[in-house]
């Protein structure tokens, strides 16, 4: 059986990962798979990505780097994503991965004009989202964890907008049959988002945010988290 690929584009804070593993492990766990049953490639090291024909699907993780950073691995990964889309490979980009997909496929990523979005937020599906083969399994209104300064400022041509939040109108999109981007983090649990709020509290305050209120409104996000298992099932059972 073909494996699911996890493209590691970054890692969480070392202080947190020492006890809680890292993005790629959270993603595998969220998909209901053991890490050993997935293929993980850390593109920051220059490791080669596989032929899209040799894998069942691909998740692109988040990162503390920015899509607008002029890093060789970002350009290389963007080229691979274009090849994967052309090969009709199911894709799921998370946060940085979502922005990288938008950038690679003809849109534009950059800093959100209203600054940082962080905490547990309300996501609303569009009509197209409610009919989508992946997102349509969710309630029309659900909660998700977010932490991002950049966003998909412009979506690629022929993109279907699937979901939005009050802060970000591009919380999810689909290109073609099954290439999805989600700005939110289905792989995060409450301990992860609380840690990010702690680490970024000075930035939150500087941008006029209420750290105490953000902490108080953090809740579990089972609907958002369920996307990972649904994506894995979609790839492995197609």
- Rounded average pLDDT per 10-residue block, the chain, 238 residues: 96 96 97 95 96 97 96 97 97 98 97 96 98 96 98 96 97 96 98 97 95 96 97 92
In whole angstroms, what is the distance from residue 106 CA to residue 108 CA?
7
Residues 6+ apart with CB under 8 A from 20: 12, 26, 191, 192
Rounded-to-10 torsion of CA 135, 138, 141, 147: -60
* C-alpha pair distances (Å), 123 with each of 24, 184, 211, 232, 235: 24, 9, 20, 22, 24
130, two tokens:
């409610």
**Whether residue 95 lies in the annotated active site:** yes
Nearest to 162 by CA among 141, 190, 135, 122: 135
Q: What is the reported pTM?
A: 0.97
**Whether residue 58 lies in the annotated active site:** no
Domains of the chain: 4-237 (3.40.50.880)
**Whether residue 154 lies in the annotated active site:** no
Asked whether the beta carbons of 183 and 123 are under 8 A apart, the reply is no
Q: 98, 145, 185, 235: which one is catalytic?
A: 185
* C-alpha pair distances (Å), 157 with each of 16, 94, 154, 161, 176: 38, 20, 9, 11, 11
Predicted local distance difference test score (pLDDT) of residue 237: 87
In whole angstroms, what is the distance from residue 185 CA to residue 117 CA?
12
Predicted local distance difference test score (pLDDT) of residue 80: 98
224, two tokens:
């958002």
Q: 38, 103, 148, 187: which one is catalytic?
A: 187
In whole angstroms, what is the distance from residue 132 CA to residue 124 CA?
13
* C-alpha pair distances (Å), 81 with each of 74, 90, 168: 11, 11, 23
How far apart, in Å, do the first and last CA atoms of the chain sit? Answer: 12
Q: 95, 148, 167, 235: which one is catalytic?
A: 95
């Amino acid at each position: 059986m073909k494996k699911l690929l996890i493209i590691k584009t970054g890692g969480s804070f070392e202080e947190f990962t020492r006890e809680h593993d890292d993005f790629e492990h959270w993603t595998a766990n969220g998909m209901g798979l053991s890490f050993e049953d997935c293929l993980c490639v850390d593109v920051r090291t220059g490791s080669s990505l596989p032929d899209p024909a040799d894998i069942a699907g691909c998740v692109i993780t988040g990162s503390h780097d920015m899509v607008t950073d002029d890093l060789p691995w970002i350009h290389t990964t963007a080229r691979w994503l274009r090849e994967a889309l052309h090969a009709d490979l199911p894709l799921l980009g998370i946060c940085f991965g979502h922005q990288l997909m938008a950038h690679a496929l003809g849109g534009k990523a950059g800093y959100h004009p209203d600054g940082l979005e962080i905490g547990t937020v309300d996501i609303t599906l569009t009509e197209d989202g409610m009919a989508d083969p992946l997102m349509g399994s969710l309630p029309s209104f659900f909660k998700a964890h977010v932490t991002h300064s950049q966003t998909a400022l412009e979506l690629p041509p022929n993109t279907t907008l699937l979901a939005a939040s009050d802060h970000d109108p591009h919380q999810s999109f689909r290109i073609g049959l099954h290439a999805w981007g989600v700005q939110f983090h289905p792989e995060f649990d409450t301990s992860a988002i609380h840690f990010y709020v702690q680490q970024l509290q000075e930035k939150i305050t500087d941008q006029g945010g209420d750290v105490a209120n953000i902490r108080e409104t953090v809740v579990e996000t089972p609907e958002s988290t369920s996307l990972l298992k649904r994506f894995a099932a979609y790839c492995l059972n197609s």
